Structure 1
Amino acid sequence: MNTPTPPPVDFAALNWVKATASSNQGACVELAAAPQGWVALRDSKNKDREPLLFTPAELTAFLDGAKGGEFDHLT
């Protein structure tokens, strides 16, 4: 399987969004649409760390698993 190569991204220029259910203490992640359909994910309390990049298919697979309770044992 070929691993896609993410495009170059200016992370500071992205429009970051976090869930309204996130805590005010910064215990959350933020997502942003990145170039070429990729999705960026970062730790809201550590914005200097380089974000992770995912393809839409990767993010969809994760969200489907989360909605289906596959990760409930981790919280």
Structure 2
Amino acid sequence: MSGMHHDQRERPRESEWRKSTFSNPSGNCVEVAEAADGSVAVRNSRDPQGSVLFYTRPEIDAFIRGAKAGEFDYLTR
């Protein structure tokens, strides 16, 4: 994802973050939220105060479509 930004944009509110229902019960998952500028914010659920990465909607769309098509299945165990 070439448009990845690691910057100081306004973080989404805590109530806006979502993670997959398939996530590990101990919280080992990524969380996503819509940022104020319309981009998609991504963070590590184990470090909610840590870094947040921002992606454009087209970048997230391409990733989700690839994930649904099984393109990243090799990364799971």
Considering the TM-score relative to the shorter chain, is it more than 0.5? yes
| TM-score, normalised via structure 2 length | 0.79
**Secondary structure, counterpart of 1:30 in structure 2:** strand
Change (3 A) 1:71 1:23: same
Taking only aligned residues, the RMSD between alpha carbons, in angstroms, comes to 2.2
Q: Distance in 2 between matches of 1:12 and 1:56?
A: 16
Give the aligned partner of residue 72 of structure 1: 73
Mark the runs of 5 or more structure 2 residues left unpaired by the alignment. Answer: none
Give the aligned partner of residue 39 of structure 2: 38
Mark the runs of 5 or more structure 1 residues left unpaired by the alignment. Answer: none
1:48 Cα offset (Å): 2.2
Change (3 A) 1:26 1:4: closer
Share of identical aligned residues, percent?
40
Q: Distance in 2 between matches of 1:69 and 1:52?
A: 23
1:58 aligns with 2:62: no
Aligned length: 72
- Tell me which stretches of 4 or more aligned residues in structure 1 moved more than 6 Å: 4-7
| TM-score, normalised via structure 1 length | 0.80
1:8 Cα offset (Å): 2.5
Which structure: greater helix fraction? Answer: 1
Q: Distance in 2 between matches of 1:65 and 1:4?
A: 17
